[in-house]
C-alpha cells in the first residue's frame, strides 16, 4: 500500500512533465502569433504607403508641359509619398523601397502608375527556427484616364456680388479658381474646352493644347481671365453647347466630362417662338428670326432689373464685354423700349401667346423636375408669360432634361460634375442643391428621402458624378479641387 505522501510527489512530477510539454508547444505558438501580428501591421502600413504613392503619382501625371515631364513628375511624386508614409525603421524594418512603373501605351488614353514596394521585417520568436527576418512585398496601381472635359462657367449678373471680407466679386474669385482648376489636367493628353454663359453662350472648342496660345493669342486660362459677368442664367443652352462639343469630338477612349459651376437657378429658356406659333404679331414687326431667349430671374415672383422681359436674340458675346442681346428692331414689339431699356413684364403678353413645351433643343419645359421636387410642387405655367416664376420653372425643367440626355448617351457615357455657389446673391436665386445633384447623378441622392431617392432610383446605371456646394466664393477653390480629384484618378488594385 502506497503512502499518501508518495502519491502527492508522483502527481507533482507528472504535472511538471505535462507543463513542460505544454510550454514546448504553446510558447512557439505565442511567438508565431506575435511575429505574424507584427508582420501584419508592417504589411498594412506598407500597403497604405504604396496606395498613397500610386494615387499621388497618377495625379502628378497632369503636371508638366509634355508627357515626358509628366511621367518624371509622377515618378518623383510617388517616391516622395511612399517615403513620407512609410517611416524609416518602422517596427525595426530595413531596406524599405518602392519601384515606380508608368504604362502609357497598353490602353489608349489611359496611363497607370504601378508601385512595387518592399521591406525587410525582423522576426523575434521564430528565430528559434533559424528565421531571422521576412521580406514583405505589396503592389498598388492607380490609373489616370485622359479627359475630354467641357468646363461650363456661369457669368450671370449675380456673380458681380462682392464677397464679404474679400473686396472681390464672386466673378473675380471664380476666374482665379477656374484657372487654377486647369492645372489638374495634362496638356497634350487631356482635351479641354470652355463654355461661358449668361443670357448667351460663348463656346471655345476643346483642345489638347489648352495651355498654348492659339492663333489669336488665347488660351483657355486667358479667356477665363477676360470674363465680364453680365446677363441672365441660360443654363440649358450652356449644357447643350457643352454636349455638342462632346458629340463633335466623339471620343470613346477618354472620360467625357461636363463640369458646371453656377451661382443660381436657371432663369432663361431658348426657343424659336415664331416656328412654335407663339408670337402674336402677324405682320413680322416682332418676329425675331431663329432662336430667341425668354425668361429672367425672379425676386418674390417678380422680374428683377436686367431680366429678359421679352424675346431677345442671343449674340455671340466677347467674354470681355457685357452679355448683350439684340432687341428686335423697330417698335413692333410691345416690350421693346428705346436704348435697350426694359418695360413692365405685363406687356410681353401682347406679343407672345405662351412658352414652348420644349426648348430649342427639344428639352421638355414641363416636368418632371418641378412637379416631383418638394421645393416647387407645381408644373411650369406655360400659358401665362407674365408669370416670371413659371418661366423659371420651365428653364429648370429644360436643364434637367438636357442633363438627362447627356447622361444617357450609352456610347460616350458622359459624366456631369456640378458646383453650386451660394451666399453671394439673392436668397431666392441660390442654386437648388437637389437639382444639381440630380444633374450630376450624385450617389448621395440615395440618402435624401422623398424626391432624392426617387431620382436616384430613376437614374441607376447612369454615370455618377458629384455635386459640391460652395457656401460662398471663398470656398470655390476647395470645390474645384474636390471635383478635380474625382474626375480621372482611380485606384486599380
pLDDT digits (tens, 9 = 90+) for 403-425: 999 999 999 999 999 999 987 55
Shared domain for 262 and 371, answered yes or no, is: yes
| The predicted structure's pLDDT at residue 344 | 52
Shared domain for 116 and 165, answered yes or no, is: no
- 284 located within any domain: no
Shared domain for 168 and 86, answered yes or no, is: no
Read off the pLDDT band of 471 (50, 70, 90).
Answer: very high
pLDDT over threshold 50, residue 321: yes
Residue 261 is given by DSSP the state: E
Residue at which a domain ends, from 145, 171, 199 = 145
**Top-confidence residue, 157 or 448:** 448
Mean pLDDT of 368-393: 84
Residue at which a domain ends, from 101, 119, 145 = 145
Q: How far apart are CA 84 and CA 91, in angstroms?
A: 16
pLDDT over threshold 60, residue 3: no
pLDDT, one tens digit per residue, over 351-369 is: 888 899 999 999 999 989 9
* Residue 452 half-sphere exposure toward CB, CA atoms < 13 A: 13
Across 62-76, 80-94, 202-216, 296-310, least confident range = 296-310
pLDDT, one tens digit per residue, over 121-147 is: 998 876 766 778 999 999 999 999 999
Q: How far apart are CA 378 and CA 370, in angstroms?
A: 6
Mean pLDDT of 341-352: 66
What strands lie across the sheet with 147-154, from one edge to the other?
201-207, 191-197, 147-154, 255-262, 415-421, 466-470
Shared domain for 241 and 111, answered yes or no, is: no
Which residue, 352, 351, 435, 361, is CA-closest to 392? Answer: 435
Q: Count Cβ atoms within 10 A of the Cβ of residue 469 and give its class: 0-12 exposed, 13-18 middle, 19 or more buried.
A: middle
Residue at which a domain ends, from 120, 145, 170 = 145
Shared domain for 23 and 137, answered yes or no, is: yes
Mean pLDDT of 276-304: 67
pLDDT over threshold 90, residue 24: no
Shared domain for 262 and 389, answered yes or no, is: yes
Q: How far apart are CA 436 and CA 467, in angstroms?
A: 6
| The predicted structure's pLDDT at residue 336 | 62
Shared domain for 28 and 125, answered yes or no, is: yes
Shared domain for 93 and 168, answered yes or no, is: no
Residue indicated by cell numbers 436668397:
427
Residue 430 is given by DSSP the state: S
Shared domain for 394 and 249, answered yes or no, is: yes
- DSSP-assigned letters across all residues of 355-380: --SB-TTS-BSS-SHHHH-TTT-S--
Read off the pLDDT band of 254 (50, 70, 90).
Answer: very high
Q: How far apart are CA 143 and CA 126, in angstroms?
A: 39
Across 11-25, 215-229, 273-287, least confident range = 11-25
| The predicted structure's pLDDT at residue 6 | 57
Say if CB 190 and CB 181 are below 8 A apart. Answer: no
What's the domain range around 107? 4-145
- Domain count within the chain: 2
Bridge partners (DSSP) of residue 147 are: 255
pLDDT over threshold 60, residue 307: no
In angstroms, the first-to-last Cα distance of the chain is 74
Shared domain for 27 and 157, answered yes or no, is: no
Amino acid at each position: 500500500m502506497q503512502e499518501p505522501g508518495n502519491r502527492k510527489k508522483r502527481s507533482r512530477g507528472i504535472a511538471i512533465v505535462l507543463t513542460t510539454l505544454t510550454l514546448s508547444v504553446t510558447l512557439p505558438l505565442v511567438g508565431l502569433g506575435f511575429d505574424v501580428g507584427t508582420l501584419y501591421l508592417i504589411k498594412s502600413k506598407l500597403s497604405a504607403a504604396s496606395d498613397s504613392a500610386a494615387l499621388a503619382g497618377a495625379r502628378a501625371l497632369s503636371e508638366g508641359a509634355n508627357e515626358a515631364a509628366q511621367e518624371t513628375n509622377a515618378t518623383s511624386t510617388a517616391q516622395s509619398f511612399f517615403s513620407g508614409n512609410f517611416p524609416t525603421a518602422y517596427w525595426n524594418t530595413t531596406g524599405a523601397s518602392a519601384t515606380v512603373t508608368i504604362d502609357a501605351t497598353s490602353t489608349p488614353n489611359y496611363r497607370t502608375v504601378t508601385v512595387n514596394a518592399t521591406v525587410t521585417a525582423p522576426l523575434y520568436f521564430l528565430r528559434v527556427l533559424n528565421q531571422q527576418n521576412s521580406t514583405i512585398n505589396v503592389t498598388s496601381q492607380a490609373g489616370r484616364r485622359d479627359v475630354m472635359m467641357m468646363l461650363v462657367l456661369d457669368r450671370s449678373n449675380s456673380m458681380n456680388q462682392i464677397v464679404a471680407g474679400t473686396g472681390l466679386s464672386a466673378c473675380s474669385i471664380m476666374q482665379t479658381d477656374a484657372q487654377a482648376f486647369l492645372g489638374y489636367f495634362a496638356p497634350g493628353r487631356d482635351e479641354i474646352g470652355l463654355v461661358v454663359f449668361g443670357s448667351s453662350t460663348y463656346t471655345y472648342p476643346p483642345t489638347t493644347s489648352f495651355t498654348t496660345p492659339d492663333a489669336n493669342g488665347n488660351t483657355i486660362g486667358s479667356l477665363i481671365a477676360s470674363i465680364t459677368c453680365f446677363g441672365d442664367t441660360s443654363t440649358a443652352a450652356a449644357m447643350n453647347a457643352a454636349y455638342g462639343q462632346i458629340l463633335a469630338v466623339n471620343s470613346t477612349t477618354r472620360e467625357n466630362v461636363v463640369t458646371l459651376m453656377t451661382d443660381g437657378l436657371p432663369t432663361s429658356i431658348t426657343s424659336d417662338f415664331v416656328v412654335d406659333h407663339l408670337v402674336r404679331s402677324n405682320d413680322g414687326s416682332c418676329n425675331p428670326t431663329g432662336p430667341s431667349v425668354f425668361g429672367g430671374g425672379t425676386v418674390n415672383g417678380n422680374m428683377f432689373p436686367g431680366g429678359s422681359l421679352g424675346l431677345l436674340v442671343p449674340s455671340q458675346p466677347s467674354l470681355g464685354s457685357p452679355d448683350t442681346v439684340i432687341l428686335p428692331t423697330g417698335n413692333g414689339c410691345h416690350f421693346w423700349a428705346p436704348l435697350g431699356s426694359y418695360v413692365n413684364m405685363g406687356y410681353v403678353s401682347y406679343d407672345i401667346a405662351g412658352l414652348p413645351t420644349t426648348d430649342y433643343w427639344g428639352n421638355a419645359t414641363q416636368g418632371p423636375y418641378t412637379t416631383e421636387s418638394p421645393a416647387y410642387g407645381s408644373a411650369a405655367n406655360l400659358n401665362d408669360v407674365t408669370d416670371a416664376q413659371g418661366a423659371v420653372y420651365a428653364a429648370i425643367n429644360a436643364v434637367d432634361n438636357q442633363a438627362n440626355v447627356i447622361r444617357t448617351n450609352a456610347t460616350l457615357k458622359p459624366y456631369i460634375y456640378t458646383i453650386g455657389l451660394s451666399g453671394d446673391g439673392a436668397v431666392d436665386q441660390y442654386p437648388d442643391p437637389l437639382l444639381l445633384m440630380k444633374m450630376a447623378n450624385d450617389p448621395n441622392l440615395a440618402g435624401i428621402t422623398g424626391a432624392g431617392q426617387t431620382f436616384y432610383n430613376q437614374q441607376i446605371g447612369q454615370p455618377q458624378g458629384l455635386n459640391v456646394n460652395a457656401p460662398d466664393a471663398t470656398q470655390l477653390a476647395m470645390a474645384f479641387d474636390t471635383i478635380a480629384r474625382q474626375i480621372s484618378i482611380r485606384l486599380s488594385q
